Amino acid sequence: MEASKLISFFEEDLCIFHLRSRKKISALTEIVHHLALQKRISDERFILDMLKNRENLGSTGLGNGVAFPHGRSLAIKELTVLFARSAAGVDFEALDGKPTHVFFLILAPSDKGSETYLAILSELIGLIQKPAKLKALNETVDFPSLVGIFEGKDD
């Protein structure tokens, strides 16, 4: 997947550059509430419960300050990707025990689009494995900067 294709899944109104929450459940609640405010989901409680259930299987905080909360459900009508950043860090029970600063929430319908869902996840994991990109994601404060990271303007 090309960078320009990947960035096409991100929208300015689905970015939180100053996540306020400091704990896992409150961060998920803040993110899901943002989706509801943007009219991307109709049932906030259902989506939050789905994400909590996924987290109970094992933290989606992979380490290096990054988490990929995700879920698939028939209640989700279209693939939705949200970017969130916390300068202070969130205790997200990450695998390395360190605070999480960058979040990529991916929600998808369970009945279609699994190839795209997995391709986005794979591309994002590849992106965060590049130290310069990860540093830039940790520092980004607006949508044009985020687009620049995907397009390679920070290299």
In CATH, what number is assigned to the domain containing residue 136?
Answer: 3.40.930.10
Residue 70 designated active-site: yes
Name the pairing type of β-strands 80-90 and 100-108.
antiparallel
Within a domain: 123: yes
Structural domain that includes position 104: 3-148
| Residues 131, 135: Cα–Cα separation, whole Å | 6
Within a domain: 153: no
Within a domain: 113: yes
The residue annotated as part of the active site, out of 18, 33, 34, 70, is 70
Q: What is the pLDDT of residue 75?
A: 77
Over the chain (155 residues), the average pLDDT of each successive run of 10 is 76 97 97 94 93 95 95 86 97 95 94 82 92 96 95 62
Q: What is the pLDDT of residue 114?
A: 75
Q: What is the pLDDT of residue 155?
A: 47
Its pTM stands at 0.93
Within a domain: 95: yes
| Residues 83, 60: Cα–Cα separation, whole Å | 14
**Position 24, amino acid:** K
Count: domains in the chain: 1
